[in-house]
Amino acid sequence: MARKRVLEPIHPGEILFEEFMKPMGISINRLARDIQVSPGRISAIVNGKRAISADTALRLGKYLRTSSDLWIGLQGEFDLRVAKRTIGPEIERCIQAYVA
């Protein structure tokens, strides 16, 4: 039987970099300056070391003419996929569904 290949969850920072910053020619420093956050924050996000907060989502949404919900949704989906892989099996073993 063939093993099912599981893809790694994609961090929203990778999407920010690959789908927006790179094609638009926007550097980390430029984005940070324009949305008034530290370059360290943007660097950590695009390198998958920091989550996109509601504050950052609002700023990105305005600057990139996207919905802030897009960024929060991408982050939430990423977090949930990571949680399913890391703590999901333990939760499945330990928690029973409520029965009325």
Q: What is the DSSP letter of 47?
A: T
Alpha carbons 71 and 53: distance in angstroms, whole number: 9
Q: Is residue 100 part of a domain?
A: no
Domain count along the chain: 1
CATH number, domain containing residue 60: 1.10.260.40
pLDDT score at 82 = 96
Residue 21's CB is within 10 A of a number of other CB atoms, namely 19
In the predicted model, residues of the chain with pLDDT beneath 50 are none
Q: Is residue 1 part of a domain?
A: no
pLDDT score at 1 = 56
Residue 34's CB is within 10 A of a number of other CB atoms, namely 12
**Length reported for the chain:** 100
Q: Is residue 39 part of a domain?
A: yes
Q: Is residue 4 part of a domain?
A: no
Can you give the residue range of the structural domain that contains 69?
12-94
pLDDT score at 7 = 82
CB-count exposure of residue 52 (10 Å: 0-12, 13-18, 19+):
buried
Residue with tokens 């530290």: 38
